């Protein structure tokens, strides 16, 4: 799994956080706490390496090109992809994934992925694509469909509840999660806005600045070359995780405290999955990966250790009082980097297209057999009505641009000669 770190711009960044873009590493230099006494084994220096560093000056377009563009390109070719952001509350995860609401240039990874996909589709005239969108929210370990447009949404409980299961092949299946077809960029963005609106309404008024849920926006892509039976299907998961936070720091209570406990518990289970996958990658005997411990880890099962190209963005806060949380985020990212996914091309034969093509081949072979046997019925010349119908059939076939179009003349030499006469007149 590729890992990137994005540093949130703050008014007074700590000098104890050192960024080295040439080596793609960041360092933390933390002096020992003298009040700990004479026996003090506290580490003073931490160093973490990444596939790339997005500094505080990095713009949204740079983030997309470096982090998301390769994953989108793979999805267009039939490879599953996932991009997720991880970090403490207020470190810039939602800004990275969804973007800012005020300026067009602040668009995040999701709207830029949508634009890139439909831009690429418009360039591939020799291929046919269909795109579907789903949007899942996980709040307090319960799943909700953010694209539930059939009911009036006033509170979280009004959303359709989603249940997860496991298919026979081990992949994750969803019940009650709607998928809507998007024919163009505008329709896809409208679905994103609908989901974000439902998510905003569902946020807790006590903490509007912080996302209190995990959200997974999925773009399902199906494509095939014109005239071919082979279909490529892929899905692109764009994940905005709720922020990890220390309850003692935030000082929350009531509903917000309950939310924080669920968030921290689900992130704890995510870390347990990552540790198990890391140990498996190192050759240790870990037959069981605890995906089932939470809904969020189940939803990310394919993305973590499965058939998927996954990229993580670790968001860190450079402020002095947030360095301990930033170190924890970087440690988690290093574990994620050890996870090995098996990326495979999702390619299969479309049974409907294959049956249609085989039927056409059977008709053509039957005609060929009749011609070879010379089984021409003894009859008189074609009637005017037969010639008129034949002319309509020929003209329809000539006007059809589809490579699958066929001119069925029933294997009759008389019909074939008449069809050639019609061709001459058309020319």
| Residue 334 shares a structural domain with residue 407 | no
Q: Are residues 267 and 322 in the same domain?
A: yes
Asked whether the predicted pLDDT for residue 61 surpasses 90, the reply is: yes
Which backbone phi and psi does 203 adopt, to 5 degrees?
-70, 155
- Please report the pLDDT score of residue 395 as a whole number: 86
The reported pLDDT for the residue numbered 287 is 74
Name the residue with higher pLDDT: 227 or 46.
46
**Residue 5: what pLDDT?**
97
Question: Is a pLDDT exceeding 70 seen at residue 372?
Answer: no
Whether 253 shows a pLDDT value over 70: the answer reads no
Whether 152 and 282 map to the same domain: the answer is yes
Encode pLDDT of 65-76 as tens digits.
Answer: 999 999 999 999
Residue 250 has pLDDT above 70, yes or no: no
Last residue of a domain, one of 329, 349, 369: 349
Spatial separation of the C-alpha atoms in residues 171 and 220, rounded to whole Å: 15
pLDDT band at 206 (very low <50, low <70, confident <90, very high): very low
- Whether the pLDDT of residue 38 is over 70: the answer is no
**Are residues 257 and 394 located together in one domain of the fold?**
no
Query: Whole-number mean pLDDT of the chain?
Result: 85
Boundary (domain end) residue, out of 293, 321, 349: 349
Please say whether the beta carbons of 202 and 159 come within 8 A.
Answer: yes
HEC assignment per residue over 382-401? CCHHHHHHHHHHHHHHHHCC
For the annotated binding site for ATP, the residues are: 87-94
- Within 8 A by CB and 6+ apart from 420, the residues are none
pLDDT, mean of residues 298-304:
91
Average the pLDDT over 193-212 and give the result.
63
Number of structural domains the chain divides into: 2
Last residue of a domain, one of 349, 372, 396: 349
- Are 291 and 419 within one domain? no
Query: What's the pLDDT band for 300 if we cut at 50, 70, 90?
Result: very high
Of 40-44, 357-361, 394-398, give the lowest mean pLDDT range: 40-44
Query: Which of 358, 413, 419, 311 shows the shortest CA–CA distance to 72?
Result: 311
Residue set of the binding site? 87-94
In this predicted structure, the answer to whether residue 353 has a pLDDT above a threshold of 80 is no
Are residues 382 and 332 part of one domain?
no
Indicate if 136 and 204 belong to the same structural domain: yes
Domain shared by 184 and 196, yes or no? yes
What is the biggest distance separating any 2 CA atoms in the chain, rounded to whole angstroms?
Answer: 115
- Is residue 234 domain-shared with residue 382, that is, in the same domain? no
Of 215-229, 307-321, 357-371, the one with minimum mean pLDDT is 357-371
The per-residue pLDDT for range 332-341, each reduced to its tens digit, is 999 999 998 9
The whole domain housing 271 covers 2-349
Note whether 219 and 207 are same-domain residues.
yes
Shared-domain flag, residues 338 and 405: no
Residue 330 has pLDDT above 90, yes or no: yes
Model confidence over 118-175: pLDDT tens digits? 999 999 999 999 999 999 999 888 899 999 876 666 666 778 889 998 877 777 889 9
pTM for this prediction: 0.78
The model's confidence at residue 393, banded by pLDDT at 50, 70 and 90, is confident
Assign residue 234 the CATH number of its domain. Answer: 3.40.850.10
How much is the pLDDT for 159? Answer: 84
pLDDT computed for residue 133 by the predictor: 97
339 and 365 share a domain?
no
Average pLDDT over residues 356-375: 76
Q: Which residues contact 302 (CB under 8 A, 6 or more apart)?
A: 80, 82, 171, 172, 308
């Amino acid at each position: 799994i590729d890992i990137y770190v994005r540093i949130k711009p703050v008014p007074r960044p700590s000098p104890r956080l050192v960024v080295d873009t040439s080596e793609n590493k960041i360092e933390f230099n933390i002096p020992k706490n003298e009040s700990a006494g004479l026996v003090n084994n506290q580490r003073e220096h931490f160093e973490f390496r990444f596939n790339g560093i997005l500094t505080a000056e990095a713009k949204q377009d740079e983030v997309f090109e470096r982090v998301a563009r390769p994953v989108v390109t793979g999805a267009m070719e039939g490879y599953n992809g996932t991009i997720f952001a991880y970090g403490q509350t207020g470190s810039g995860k939602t800004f990275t994934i969804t973007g800012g609401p005020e300026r067009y240039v602040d668009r995040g990874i999701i709207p830029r992925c949508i634009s890139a996909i439909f831009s690429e589709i418009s360039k591939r005239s020799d291929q046919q694509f269909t795109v579907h969108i789903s949007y899942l929210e996980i709040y307090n370990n319960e799943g909700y469909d953010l694209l539930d447009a059939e009911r009036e949404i006033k509170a979280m409980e009004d959303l359709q509840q989603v249940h997860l299961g496991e298919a026979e092949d081990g992949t994750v299946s969803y019940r009650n999660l709607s998928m809507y077809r998007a024919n163009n960029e505008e329709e896809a963005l409208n679905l994103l806005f609908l989901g974000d609106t439902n998510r905003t309404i569902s946020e807790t008024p006590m903490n509007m600045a912080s996302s209190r849920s995990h959200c997974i926006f999925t773009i399902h892509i199906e494509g095939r070359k014109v005239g071919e039976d082979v279909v490529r299907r892929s899905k692109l998961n764009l994940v905005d995780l709720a922020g990890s936070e220390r309850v003692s720091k935030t000082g929350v209570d009531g509903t917000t405290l309950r939310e924080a406990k669920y968030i921290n518990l689900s992130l704890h289970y995510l870390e347990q999955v990552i540790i198990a996958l890391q140990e498996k990658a190192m050759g240790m005997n870990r037959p069981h990966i605890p995906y089932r411990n939470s809904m969020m880890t189940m939803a990310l099962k394919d993305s973590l250790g499965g058939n998927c190209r996954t990229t993580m963005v670790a968001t860190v806060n450079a402020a002095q009082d947030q360095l301990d949380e930033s170190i924890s985020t970087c440690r988690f990212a290093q574990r994620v980097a050890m996870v090995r996914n098996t990326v495979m091309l999702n390619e299969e034969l479309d049974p409907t297209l294959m049956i249609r093509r085989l039927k056409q081949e059977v008709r053509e072979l039957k005609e060929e057999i009749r011609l070879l046997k010379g089984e021409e019925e003894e009859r008189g010349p074609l009637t005017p009505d037969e010639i008129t119908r034949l002319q309509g059939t020929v003209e329809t076939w000539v006007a059809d641009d589809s490579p699958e179009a066929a001119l069925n003349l029933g294997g009759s030499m008389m019909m074939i000669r008449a069809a050639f006469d019609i061709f001459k007149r058309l020319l």
